Amino acid sequence: MRDIKLVAVDEDGTFLRDHVHYDVRRFERIWHRMRELGVRFVVATGNQCYQVQELFAAHAHEMGIVSANGAYVLDGDEDVFAARASDDVVAQLIKACHEQHEVPFSMLGVRAAYVERGTSQAFFDDMARYCFRQYWVDDFSEVEDQVFMFSSVVDEAEVAFQIERFRTMLGGLMDVVGSGEGYFDIVCPGINKASGLKRLMERWDVTPEECVAFGDSDNDLDMLALAGQSYAMQNAPEHVRAAADHVAPPCTEDGVLQVLEELFSL
């Protein structure tokens, strides 16, 4: 076994079987083995931190959380970093949301996520799978929060067009990244899972060579490139698999857990 001090996993399409479930008892064995070896565990996701904390309730206070694609980073219960989009950029994004209605958005901040009334209930319910603390509001501009991300989902056939559209519209003021299955996020420049993971690695004195990372989508590419050992899931697109050192079994077969059992001799 190589000297591993940190394991970082994406959630949807990677660690979780179906956006919610994983083999809890199997993970418990791996968790205790990692603790014995002094290995840190990090969930790095585009999802809201409150969703991670609920899904990993037994250990959330002891693990790292890189949420909202690196925009909000926690070490257990302690805030490490929270990005902030400028007021001008947030106002520009709100204006774009009001001017076009074919692309719905959830606006994410430190306290919660928000969806404007008039948006479909189906969209609200869909985003609520990833943002466990989400509320209806009359107008995004009335929200008092530290905003760091806007998230949306469109038909998979349209996502590349919409990503390029918003990149052009924002002119580099914000980054736009796909997260798979038609979802995409608008995040602060330079913020991604790798930047969030680096903050924890520096805090814990862990080098990239001592890190193992697992992912399945475009928003995992920076993190996979950072880690000394990287695994793309078998269910990942071809270009993501090509970017990783190894391919793990698919998420539906608990591929991450299979690899960790091999790495930690369980």
What residue spans define the domains of the chain?
6-82+191-263, 87-187
Amino acid identity of 138? D
Residue with the two structure tokens 């409150």: 50
6-82+191-263: which CATH topology? Rossmann fold (3.40.50)
CA distance 223 to 246: 14
Task: Quote the pLDDT of residue 181.
Answer: 86
Q: Evaluate if pTM is beyond 0.85.
A: yes
Specify which residues 12 forms β-bridges with: 16
**pLDDT score recorded for residue 19:** 82
Query: Which is the catalytic residue, given 3, 10, 87, 245?
Result: 10
Residue 41's pLDDT is 98
CA distance 66 to 46: 8
One fold for 6-82+191-263 and 87-187? no
Bridge partners (DSSP) listed for residue 115: 136
Cα separation of 250 and 239, whole Å?
16
Q: Give the per-residue pLDDT at 2.
A: 57
User: Catalytic annotation on 23?
Assistant: no
Q: Quick one: how far is CA 99 from the chain centroid?
A: 28
CB within 8 Å of 24: residues ≥ 6 apart? none
At residue 75, what are phi and psi to the nearest 5 degrees? -110, 95
Q: What is the pLDDT along the chain (266 residues), one digit of tens a residue?
A: 458 999 999 999 999 998 889 999 999 999 999 999 999 999 999 999 999 999 999 999 999 999 999 999 999 999 999 999 999 999 999 998 888 778 999 999 999 999 999 999 999 999 999 999 999 999 999 999 999 999 999 999 999 999 999 999 889 899 998 888 899 999 999 999 999 999 999 999 999 999 999 999 999 999 999 999 999 999 999 999 999 999 999 999 999 999 999 999 88
Parallel, antiparallel, or unpaired: how do β-strands 64-67 and 72-75 relate? antiparallel
Tell me the CATH number for domain 87-187.
3.30.1240.10
Spatial distance between the Cα atoms of 215 and 223, rounded to a whole number of angstroms: 8
Write out the H or E segment, with its range, that includes residue 159: helix 159-170
Token pair of 21 as six digits: 């479930």
140, 107 in Cβ contact below 8 A?
A: yes
Those residues whose C-beta lies under 8 Å from the C-beta of residue 185, and which sit 6 or more positions away, are 46, 68, 69, 149, 150, 151, 152, 176, 177, 179, 219
CB 21 within 8 A of CB 251: no
